[in-house]
Chains A and B, each alone.
Chain A
Amino acid sequence: MSPLSWYQLVAALLLGIGLYGVVSRKTLIGMLIGVELMLNGAGLSMVAAAQLTPMDGVLGQLGTLFVMGLAAAEATLVLAIVLVVARRMGNARSDTVSELKG
Protein backbone atom coordinates (compact mmCIF):
# COMPACT_ATOMS: atom_id res chain seq x y z
CA MET A 1 0.00 0.00 0.00
CA SER A 2 1.21 3.48 -0.83
CA PRO A 3 1.52 6.21 1.82
CA LEU A 4 -1.64 7.87 0.47
CA SER A 5 -3.65 4.70 1.17
CA TRP A 6 -2.43 4.63 4.76
CA TYR A 7 -3.45 8.23 5.33
CA GLN A 8 -6.85 7.57 3.74
CA LEU A 9 -7.28 4.55 6.00
CA VAL A 10 -6.66 6.65 9.12
CA ALA A 11 -9.10 9.29 7.79
CA ALA A 12 -11.74 6.62 7.19
CA LEU A 13 -11.23 5.30 10.72
CA LEU A 14 -11.77 8.82 12.08
CA LEU A 15 -14.97 9.05 10.03
CA GLY A 16 -16.15 5.69 11.38
CA ILE A 17 -15.35 6.59 14.99
CA GLY A 18 -17.22 9.89 14.58
CA LEU A 19 -20.27 8.16 13.09
CA TYR A 20 -20.20 5.64 15.93
CA GLY A 21 -20.17 8.53 18.42
CA VAL A 22 -23.05 10.36 16.73
CA VAL A 23 -25.22 7.22 16.71
CA SER A 24 -24.40 5.89 20.17
CA ARG A 25 -24.26 9.09 22.26
CA LYS A 26 -27.31 10.19 24.23
CA THR A 27 -26.42 13.83 24.85
CA LEU A 28 -26.18 16.61 22.28
CA ILE A 29 -22.60 17.45 23.30
CA GLY A 30 -21.49 13.85 22.84
CA MET A 31 -22.93 13.93 19.33
CA LEU A 32 -21.09 17.22 18.66
CA ILE A 33 -17.79 15.53 19.64
CA GLY A 34 -18.53 12.81 17.08
CA VAL A 35 -19.17 15.44 14.38
CA GLU A 36 -15.84 17.12 15.14
CA LEU A 37 -14.05 13.77 14.72
CA MET A 38 -15.74 13.26 11.33
CA LEU A 39 -14.74 16.75 10.13
CA ASN A 40 -11.13 16.04 11.14
CA GLY A 41 -11.20 12.84 9.11
CA ALA A 42 -12.39 14.81 6.09
CA GLY A 43 -9.62 17.39 6.51
CA LEU A 44 -6.95 14.72 6.87
CA SER A 45 -8.18 12.98 3.72
CA MET A 46 -8.18 16.24 1.72
CA VAL A 47 -4.67 17.27 2.77
CA ALA A 48 -3.34 13.77 2.07
CA ALA A 49 -4.88 13.74 -1.41
CA ALA A 50 -3.50 17.22 -2.13
CA GLN A 51 0.01 16.69 -0.82
CA LEU A 52 0.77 13.20 -2.09
CA THR A 53 -0.67 13.34 -5.64
CA PRO A 54 0.16 15.71 -8.52
CA MET A 55 -3.01 17.77 -7.99
CA ASP A 56 -3.00 21.43 -6.92
CA GLY A 57 -1.70 21.40 -3.36
CA VAL A 58 -2.90 24.91 -2.56
CA LEU A 59 -6.50 23.88 -3.27
CA GLY A 60 -6.41 20.99 -0.80
CA GLN A 61 -4.79 22.96 2.01
CA LEU A 62 -7.13 25.92 1.59
CA GLY A 63 -10.11 23.56 1.50
CA THR A 64 -9.04 22.13 4.86
CA LEU A 65 -8.68 25.64 6.28
CA PHE A 66 -12.24 26.42 5.12
CA VAL A 67 -13.48 23.20 6.76
CA MET A 68 -11.90 24.42 10.01
CA GLY A 69 -13.72 27.75 9.72
CA LEU A 70 -17.02 25.99 9.09
CA ALA A 71 -16.37 23.73 12.10
CA ALA A 72 -15.87 26.80 14.28
CA ALA A 73 -19.16 28.32 13.05
CA GLU A 74 -20.98 25.02 13.60
CA ALA A 75 -19.61 24.62 17.13
CA THR A 76 -20.80 28.14 18.00
CA LEU A 77 -24.33 27.42 16.79
CA VAL A 78 -24.45 24.09 18.63
CA LEU A 79 -23.32 25.87 21.80
CA ALA A 80 -26.25 28.28 21.47
CA ILE A 81 -28.73 25.45 20.78
CA VAL A 82 -27.44 23.39 23.74
CA LEU A 83 -27.76 26.46 25.94
CA VAL A 84 -31.40 27.01 24.94
CA VAL A 85 -32.31 23.31 25.29
CA ALA A 86 -30.64 23.05 28.70
CA ARG A 87 -32.38 26.21 29.91
CA ARG A 88 -35.85 25.08 28.80
CA MET A 89 -35.74 21.36 29.55
CA GLY A 90 -33.16 21.03 32.32
CA ASN A 91 -30.74 18.75 30.46
CA ALA A 92 -29.27 18.40 26.97
CA ARG A 93 -30.21 14.83 26.08
CA SER A 94 -31.37 14.00 22.59
CA ASP A 95 -34.46 12.04 23.72
CA THR A 96 -35.88 14.94 25.75
CA VAL A 97 -35.72 17.15 22.66
CA SER A 98 -37.42 14.54 20.48
CA GLU A 99 -40.53 14.41 22.64
CA LEU A 100 -43.30 16.47 21.12
CA LYS A 101 -45.22 17.05 24.35
CA GLY A 102 -44.15 16.46 27.89
Chain B
Amino acid sequence: MNMELFARLAFGIYAVVILAGGALAVSSPSLIRAMVGLVTALFGVAGMYLLMDATLVAFMQILIYVGAVSVLIFFAIMLAHASPDGDEAAPASIWEYVRSGLVFVVPVGVVALTATVFPVDSMPLPKQIGPEALGEGLLGPYTLAFELISVVLLAAMAGAVLVAFERRKPR
Protein backbone atom coordinates (compact mmCIF):
# COMPACT_ATOMS: atom_id res chain seq x y z
CA MET B 1 0.00 0.00 0.00
CA ASN B 2 2.79 2.34 0.90
CA MET B 3 4.59 1.53 -2.35
CA GLU B 4 1.41 2.23 -4.32
CA LEU B 5 1.17 5.69 -2.79
CA PHE B 6 4.81 6.24 -3.64
CA ALA B 7 4.21 5.18 -7.26
CA ARG B 8 1.26 7.55 -7.58
CA LEU B 9 3.39 10.37 -6.18
CA ALA B 10 6.21 9.57 -8.64
CA PHE B 11 3.72 9.50 -11.53
CA GLY B 12 2.42 12.93 -10.54
CA ILE B 13 5.92 14.38 -10.32
CA TYR B 14 6.90 12.95 -13.71
CA ALA B 15 3.67 14.23 -15.29
CA VAL B 16 4.34 17.74 -13.96
CA VAL B 17 7.95 17.59 -15.23
CA ILE B 18 6.79 16.44 -18.70
CA LEU B 19 4.07 19.07 -19.02
CA ALA B 20 6.26 21.91 -17.74
CA GLY B 21 9.12 20.92 -20.05
CA GLY B 22 6.79 20.57 -23.02
CA ALA B 23 5.18 23.94 -22.35
CA LEU B 24 8.62 25.57 -22.19
CA ALA B 25 9.67 23.74 -25.37
CA VAL B 26 6.83 25.14 -27.46
CA SER B 27 6.43 28.61 -25.95
CA SER B 28 9.90 30.00 -25.24
CA PRO B 29 11.03 32.72 -27.66
CA SER B 30 14.64 31.53 -27.45
CA LEU B 31 15.34 28.23 -29.19
CA ILE B 32 18.06 27.30 -26.67
CA ARG B 33 15.57 27.60 -23.80
CA ALA B 34 13.08 25.59 -25.84
CA MET B 35 15.69 22.83 -26.16
CA VAL B 36 16.24 22.86 -22.38
CA GLY B 37 12.49 22.37 -22.00
CA LEU B 38 12.56 19.48 -24.50
CA VAL B 39 15.38 17.77 -22.55
CA THR B 40 13.36 18.17 -19.33
CA ALA B 41 10.32 16.56 -20.95
CA LEU B 42 12.48 13.71 -22.31
CA PHE B 43 13.80 12.99 -18.80
CA GLY B 44 10.23 12.92 -17.50
CA VAL B 45 9.23 10.38 -20.16
CA ALA B 46 12.27 8.26 -19.20
CA GLY B 47 11.04 8.34 -15.59
CA MET B 48 7.63 7.12 -16.72
CA TYR B 49 9.30 4.23 -18.59
CA LEU B 50 11.10 3.31 -15.36
CA LEU B 51 7.80 3.47 -13.50
CA MET B 52 6.34 0.97 -16.01
CA ASP B 53 9.30 -1.38 -15.47
CA ALA B 54 10.66 -0.87 -18.99
CA THR B 55 14.23 -0.34 -17.82
CA LEU B 56 16.04 -0.82 -21.11
CA VAL B 57 13.69 1.55 -22.95
CA ALA B 58 14.20 4.16 -20.22
CA PHE B 59 17.98 4.06 -20.53
CA MET B 60 17.78 4.02 -24.33
CA GLN B 61 15.56 7.10 -24.06
CA ILE B 62 18.26 8.93 -22.10
CA LEU B 63 21.06 7.60 -24.33
CA ILE B 64 19.46 8.25 -27.74
CA TYR B 65 17.17 11.23 -27.16
CA VAL B 66 18.98 13.20 -24.48
CA GLY B 67 22.44 12.11 -25.61
CA ALA B 68 22.23 12.13 -29.39
CA VAL B 69 19.09 13.77 -30.79
CA SER B 70 19.18 16.87 -28.59
CA VAL B 71 22.89 17.40 -29.32
CA LEU B 72 22.00 17.20 -33.03
CA ILE B 73 19.32 19.86 -32.58
CA PHE B 74 21.78 22.06 -30.68
CA PHE B 75 24.13 21.74 -33.65
CA ALA B 76 21.27 22.71 -35.98
CA ILE B 77 20.55 25.83 -33.86
CA MET B 78 24.24 26.76 -33.94
CA LEU B 79 24.62 26.24 -37.71
CA ALA B 80 21.40 28.09 -38.60
CA HIS B 81 22.72 31.37 -37.15
CA ALA B 82 20.06 31.66 -34.43
CA SER B 83 19.68 35.21 -33.22
CA PRO B 84 20.54 35.72 -29.53
CA ASP B 85 17.34 37.58 -28.62
CA GLY B 86 15.14 34.77 -29.89
CA ASP B 87 13.94 33.69 -33.32
CA GLU B 88 10.36 33.28 -32.18
CA ALA B 89 10.03 36.70 -30.58
CA ALA B 90 7.82 38.21 -33.30
CA PRO B 91 4.24 38.71 -32.08
CA ALA B 92 1.57 36.40 -33.44
CA SER B 93 -1.94 37.34 -34.46
CA ILE B 94 -5.08 36.19 -32.66
CA TRP B 95 -5.96 33.85 -35.52
CA GLU B 96 -2.64 32.01 -35.10
CA TYR B 97 -3.29 31.48 -31.38
CA VAL B 98 -6.81 30.19 -32.15
CA ARG B 99 -5.45 27.82 -34.80
CA SER B 100 -2.72 26.47 -32.53
CA GLY B 101 -5.10 26.10 -29.59
CA LEU B 102 -7.59 24.19 -31.74
CA VAL B 103 -4.86 21.79 -32.85
CA PHE B 104 -3.99 21.20 -29.18
CA VAL B 105 -7.54 20.80 -27.89
CA VAL B 106 -9.08 18.48 -30.50
CA PRO B 107 -6.76 15.40 -30.28
CA VAL B 108 -6.36 15.67 -26.51
CA GLY B 109 -10.11 16.02 -26.10
CA VAL B 110 -10.83 13.00 -28.30
CA VAL B 111 -8.36 10.78 -26.40
CA ALA B 112 -9.49 12.00 -22.97
CA LEU B 113 -13.15 11.46 -23.88
CA THR B 114 -12.40 7.97 -25.19
CA ALA B 115 -10.43 7.10 -22.07
CA THR B 116 -13.26 8.18 -19.78
CA VAL B 117 -16.24 6.88 -21.79
CA PHE B 118 -14.68 3.49 -22.65
CA PRO B 119 -12.48 2.71 -19.65
CA VAL B 120 -9.93 -0.06 -20.19
CA ASP B 121 -9.00 -2.08 -17.13
CA SER B 122 -5.28 -2.57 -16.86
CA MET B 123 -3.12 -4.95 -14.90
CA PRO B 124 -2.24 -3.73 -11.40
CA LEU B 125 1.47 -4.37 -11.92
CA PRO B 126 3.49 -3.96 -15.13
CA LYS B 127 5.03 -7.02 -16.74
CA GLN B 128 8.64 -7.84 -16.02
CA ILE B 129 10.55 -8.15 -19.28
CA GLY B 130 14.32 -8.33 -19.04
CA PRO B 131 16.82 -7.21 -21.67
CA GLU B 132 17.45 -10.85 -22.64
CA ALA B 133 13.80 -11.26 -23.71
CA LEU B 134 14.14 -8.11 -25.86
CA GLY B 135 17.35 -9.45 -27.39
CA GLU B 136 15.68 -12.75 -28.22
CA GLY B 137 12.84 -10.80 -29.83
CA LEU B 138 15.30 -8.79 -31.93
CA LEU B 139 17.07 -11.91 -33.16
CA GLY B 140 13.90 -14.00 -33.41
CA PRO B 141 10.57 -12.78 -34.78
CA TYR B 142 11.60 -9.15 -35.39
CA THR B 143 14.88 -9.67 -37.26
CA LEU B 144 13.58 -8.08 -40.46
CA ALA B 145 12.57 -4.86 -38.70
CA PHE B 146 15.92 -4.79 -36.91
CA GLU B 147 17.84 -5.10 -40.17
CA LEU B 148 15.58 -2.63 -41.98
CA ILE B 149 16.10 0.06 -39.35
CA SER B 150 19.85 -0.17 -39.89
CA VAL B 151 19.31 0.26 -43.64
CA VAL B 152 17.07 3.28 -42.94
CA LEU B 153 19.71 4.79 -40.65
CA LEU B 154 22.42 4.26 -43.27
CA ALA B 155 20.27 5.84 -45.98
CA ALA B 156 19.47 8.80 -43.70
CA MET B 157 23.13 9.40 -42.83
CA ALA B 158 24.26 9.11 -46.47
CA GLY B 159 21.40 11.38 -47.56
CA ALA B 160 22.30 13.97 -44.93
CA VAL B 161 25.91 14.03 -46.07
CA LEU B 162 24.79 14.31 -49.71
CA VAL B 163 22.33 17.14 -49.01
CA ALA B 164 24.70 19.19 -46.86
CA PHE B 165 27.75 18.60 -49.04
CA GLU B 166 29.26 21.88 -50.21
CA ARG B 167 30.48 21.64 -53.75
CA ARG B 168 33.66 23.57 -54.43
CA LYS B 169 33.04 26.48 -56.72
CA PRO B 170 35.01 26.37 -59.96
CA ARG B 171 37.46 29.26 -60.26
Using CB atoms and an 8 Å cutoff, list the residues of chain A in contact with chain B: 1-21, 23-30, 32-34, 36-37, 40, 43-44, 47-48, 50-54, 57-59, 61-62, 64-66, 68-87, 90-93
Given known contacts A12-B107, A12-B108, A73-B153, A84 and B134 CB-to-CB distance under 8 angstroms: no
Query: B94 to chain A: which residues have CB within 8 Å?
Result: none
In the complex the two chains form, is B42's CB within 8 Å of A76's CB?
A: no
Majority SS at the chain B contact face = helix
Q: Among residues 112 to 159 in chain B, which have CB atoms less than 8 Å away from a CB atom of chain A? A: 112, 115-116, 119-124, 126-127, 129, 133-134, 136-138, 142, 145, 149, 152-153, 155-157, 159
Q: What are 15 A-B interface contacts by the 8 Å CB criterion?
A: A8-B111, A20-B100, A20-B103, A30-B26, A33-B26, A50-B127, A53-B120, A59-B137, A62-B134, A62-B138, A73-B152, A75-B73, A79-B75, A82-B79, A86-B81
- State the CA gap A7–B8 with chains docked (Å): 12
- State the CA gap A19–B57 with chains docked (Å): 24
Q: Which residue of A lies closest to B70 (CB)?
A: A36
What is the size, in residues, of chain B's interface with A at 8 Å between Cβ atoms? 83
In the complex the two chains form, is A76's CB within 8 Å of B87's CB?
A: no
Query: A58 to chain B: which residues have CB within 8 Å?
Result: 129, 133-134, 136-137
Q: Which of B38, B103, B129, B152 contacts A57 (CB 8 A)?
A: B129
Of B57, B107, B166, chain A has the most CB atoms within 10 Å of the CB of: B57
In the complex the two chains form, is A16's CB within 8 Å of B87's CB?
A: no
Q: Which residue of A lies closest to B26 (CB)?
A: A21
Given known contacts A2-B122, A86-B79, A90-B81, A23 and B99 CB-to-CB distance under 8 angstroms: yes
Q: Which of B53, B119, B133, B160 contacts A77 (CB 8 A)?
A: B160
Q: Among residues 32 to 58 in chain B, which have CB atoms less than 8 Å away from a CB atom of chain A? A: 34-35, 38, 41-42, 45, 48-49, 52-54, 56-57
In the complex the two chains form, is B80's CB within 8 Å of A2's CB?
A: no
Query: B61 to chain A: which residues have CB within 8 Å?
Result: 43, 68
In the complex the two chains form, is B48's CB within 8 Å of A10's CB?
A: yes
